[in-house]
Every structure is written in structure tokens, then in C-alpha cells.
Amino acid sequence: MFDIKWIRANTEAFDAALSRRKGIVTRSADLLAIDDRRRDIIVRLNEAQEKRNALSKQIGQAKAQKDEAKAGELMAEVARLKDTIPAGEAEERAVELELRNALSVLPNIAFDDVPDGTDEAGNVEYFGRNGSPETAAKLRAPRPSFAFAPKEHYEVGVAANGNMDFEIAAKLSGSRFVVLKGQVARLERALGQFMLDLHTNEHGYLEVQPPLLVKDDALFGTNQLPKFEDDLFFAPHGDGRLALIPTAEVPLTNMVRESILSEEELPLRLTALTPCFRSEAGSAGRDTRGMLRQHQFNKVEMVSITTPETSVDEHERMLTCAETVLQKLGLHYRVMNLCTGDLGFGAKKTYDLEVWLPGQDTYREISSVSVCGDFQARRMDARYRPTGEKVSPRFVHTLNGSGTAVGRCLIAVLENYQQEDGSVLVPEVLRPYMGGLTSIGGR
């Protein structure tokens, strides 16, 4: 969410930046018109309140001196304000809500180095700071070659033989659910444990087990509300509701909401392995086969809370943390710098990691790493107190990234490590989590 004062001081920059965003017609003039009205109301209200306070103080003094006549006189005078103050307060509340509503549906401004574009075709491959295709290739596994036609994940023997069961899941829960069994279930678990251990042991993240059900306020903080309500599942609760988290970004980021951290606590790096729940309301008919797009999936999420000065560096660092997962698993992938048309609502810049799926013969998103600036911090009221002379609190910056989507990573392992006989080799880093197994689904 934007600061109206900043908009007022930077109308041209604001309008130019917003015009890069798809489908946004709001301009600074629309917002400043509301703000002008707001300020008028505040000025009038403050004048009335000031008068009331002054008279009330005089009444107190008059009463203290037992001057009842004067007190009565003053009370009559203040009585005339009785209606204007509550009315003014109501007006102020209304116009402030109007401004908040107008601001809360506006997406964040993209950094200058985000490419322009209308959809994913405008995304630009990224090889890291000072990187090149050559330096990237040294770190990443090459695309695997097969002596046979590689299958899609749900066709690979070990999955197709009943360990990835969509029929039973449909009986239990309908479409877009899956039941994993046996060694495929174990492989899924191994992947999650591996990622979590990597981020906690080697990347300095604090492991968190957050609630999976959250309040509307938390969803507002991380931009799911008010615009993306349709993507969520809700559970009735008391007179209200709780939402099933669509990503652990919601509880992890909101852990700092409505608080003032000290600078020494930053950067705060949090990670969690949680199920995620998405209604996929807008994706009817897309990716209906297999477990690529599910209502429920596991994901390891990373969240960083930083100072404004360090958030851009932290973004690169977080990207590296996510890449390390795929590098250690020996999975081929590429990194895309998302263009303005593909950029998420709250992001100033996003890198997508796309893993190679030989069965599909294409790259698919497996991680998304975003820097949000103070956009979410404003919505959450999350600040920190800088060390040193400046004591006035500032908004923190927030970042989030998947590290990575476990369900999709399972797909990637099944497709990339599949053997002609339908078995699947276990990547070396996962073997400790698989009781030493080097392969699953063999005879």
C-alpha cells in the first residue's frame, strides 16, 4: 500500500510507474482528490475539538471555583458543538476508509530493472548479478538426456502403479487432490525435510511452525485481501471466518505485524514447511492432469524482514538459497526476471525458478522469489527502530520466496530421475532421508 504523502510529493513518478502495471487506470489525481476532502474534514473537525477542549477546561476551572453560573454558561456554549463533533468524526472515518480502499487495491510499483511486458512472454532470463549463461551453466545441472521417451510424472511406473492415486483422492475430496502412498509419499517427505534442513542449517533461517488458519487482517497484510479473496478457502469460525493459508508467506510475514523491531533483530529470516491451500478458481481446465496444480500442496517458504537499505541484496541472496535446493538435487532449471505484466500484486521485482520437466518437455515454475519493499509493511504496520541518532521508526522491507514448492519438486524428481523400467533414482542428497535407498519403484 502506498503512502498518500509520497504520492502527493511524487505525482509524476507515481503515475508513470503505475501505468507500467497491467489494467490499472487509477492515477494520482484520483487519490489526491480524496485526500483533499479528507484534509478539509480534518481541519474543520480539529477546530471544533480544540474549541470543545478549551471550553471544557474552563468549565473545570469554573466548577473548582464554585462559579456555577459561569460553568452553566460555558456548558451551554459547548452544547452547540455537540452535533458537529460526532458528525465530523463520522465523516473523517468515512473518507479515511475511502482513501484506504482506493489505495489497497493498487499494485506495487516495479523496480526499473523489471522488464516491461504484458504476459509471461515478456519475462527475461536472469543469470545472477554479474552472471552470464556460462557462469550459470557451471552451477546448474544440465538438461538430462534420455535413451527412451521420458514420461510425465503421473505416468512414471512408481507413481502410476498406485502410489500417486487421483481416483481415491477424488472420492475423498474431488478433483485437484491427490493421495500419495508408499515410497512416493516418503520421497515427498524427504524433499520437504531436505529443504528445511538446508535453509535452517546452511542459510540461517529460523524454522517456524505457523498456524495454517489465519484472520482477514493477516491476509490483508500480505495482499491476498481485498483483491484475491476468490483464490482462498475459508472455514467458518464463530461469527466470522478463518482462511486456510494459500502460502506460509502469510503467517511468516505477519509475525512482525503491528510491531516495532530493533535494527539488531534484522534481517529476520524465517522458514516453514506447510501445506498450502488454493481454490484455483481462475484456473479451470488448466493443468488438470497430474499433481502440478492442486488445491492442497506442501511448500517450504522463506521470508526475510530487512531494513530498506538491504532488501535488494537480500533478494539476490534469497534467490541463491532457492537455487541451491535445485542445484543440490541436480535438477536443471532457469531463472526468469518477471516482466511487469507477470509480476505479482505486491512485488517490486520477482524471480521465478523454472525447473525442467522432461516428461512435459518444458520448464515449469517451482519457486517464486519476490521483494516487496515497504508495501506489505505498511499494510501490516511493521516497523523497526534504527540504531543511532534517528529514533523515529521506519517501515521494514519484506521478501518472500519458495524454497521450493515440494509437490512440484516431487514431480521434477520423478520426471528427471526416471528410468526406463519405471523406477526412479533417488538424488544423492535425499538418500539419508530415504533410509539410504538409491532408487524407488524397482523390482
Partner RNA sequence: GGAGAGGUGGCAGAGUGGUCGAAUGCACCGCACUCGAAAUGCGGCGUGGGGGUGACUCCACCGUGAGUUCGAAUCUCACCCUCUCCGCCA
Asked if 284 interacts with RNA (CB under 7 A), we say: no
Nearest Cα neighbor of 48 from 88, 75, 77, 76 is 88
Alpha-carbon span 58 to 47, nearest angstrom? 17
Q: Is residue 349 within 8 Å of 409, Cβ to Cβ?
A: no
Binder among 25, 29, 43, 284 for RNA (CB under 7 A): 43
Amino acid (1-letter code) at residue 12: E
Give the binding range for RNA (CB under 7 A) out of 44-52, 129-137, 146-154, 222-230: 44-52
Decide whether 128 or 275 has the Cβ nearer to RNA.
275
Alpha-carbon span 189 to 314, nearest angstrom? 28
CA-derived radius of gyration, the chain: 27
Sign of the torsion formed by the C-alpha atoms of 43, 49, 50 and 51: positive
Q: Is residue 396 within 8 Å of 383, Cβ to Cβ?
A: yes
117 contact partners, CB below 8 Å, separation of at least 6: 123, 339, 340, 341, 342
Decide whether 49 or 310 has the Cβ nearer to RNA.
49
Asked if 25 interacts with RNA (CB under 7 A), we say: no
The distance of closest approach from Cβ of residue 380 to RNA in the complex, given in angstroms and rounded to an integer, is 13
Binding mask 343-382 for RNA (x = CB under 7 A): ----------------------------------------
State which of positions 303-342 bind RNA (CB under 7 A).
Answer: none
Give the binding range for RNA (CB under 7 A) out of 24-32, 248-256, 317-325, 387-395: 387-395
Decide whether 49 or 161 has the Cβ nearer to RNA.
49
Alpha-carbon span 237 to 244, nearest angstrom? 12
Binder among 25, 147, 284, 391 for RNA (CB under 7 A): 391
Asked if 388 interacts with RNA (CB under 7 A), we say: yes
List, in sequence order, every beta strand (DSSP E) within 264-415: 268-277, 296-306, 333-337, 349-357, 362-371, 382-385, 394-395, 397-405
The distance of closest approach from Cβ of residue 1 to RNA in the complex, given in angstroms and rounded to an integer, is 12
The distance of closest approach from Cβ of residue 63 to RNA in the complex, given in angstroms and rounded to an integer, is 5
Asked if 33 interacts with RNA (CB under 7 A), we say: no
The distance of closest approach from Cβ of residue 389 to RNA in the complex, given in angstroms and rounded to an integer, is 5
State which of positions 412-441 bind RNA (CB under 7 A).
Answer: none
State which of positions 232-261 bind RNA (CB under 7 A).
Answer: 238, 260
Output the nine-digit C-alpha cell for 302: 522463506
Crossing angle of helices 28-64 and 68-79, rounded to 10°: 160
Asked if 69 interacts with RNA (CB under 7 A), we say: no
The distance of closest approach from Cβ of residue 56 to RNA in the complex, given in angstroms and rounded to an integer, is 4
Asked if 61 interacts with RNA (CB under 7 A), we say: yes
| 341-352 CB burial, b ≥16 within 10 A, e <16 | bbbbbbbbbbbb
Binder among 392, 435, 436, 443 for RNA (CB under 7 A): 392
Asked if 97 interacts with RNA (CB under 7 A), we say: no
The distance of closest approach from Cβ of residue 34 to RNA in the complex, given in angstroms and rounded to an integer, is 11
Asked if 209 interacts with RNA (CB under 7 A), we say: no
Decide whether 78 or 139 has the Cβ nearer to RNA.
78
The distance of closest approach from Cβ of residue 379 to RNA in the complex, given in angstroms and rounded to an integer, is 14
Active site residues per annotation: 278, 293, 365, 368, 408
Measure Cα distances from 74 to 49, 59, 81 in Å. Answer: 15, 6, 12
Alpha-carbon span 197 to 103, nearest angstrom? 39
Alpha-carbon span 75 to 59, nearest angstrom? 7
Number of residues that bind RNA (CB under 7 A): 37
Alpha-carbon span 11 to 237, nearest angstrom? 43
Residues that bind RNA (CB under 7 A): 4-5, 35, 38-39, 42-43, 45-47, 49-50, 52-57, 59-61, 63-64, 75, 78-79, 82, 238, 260, 383, 385, 387-389, 391-393
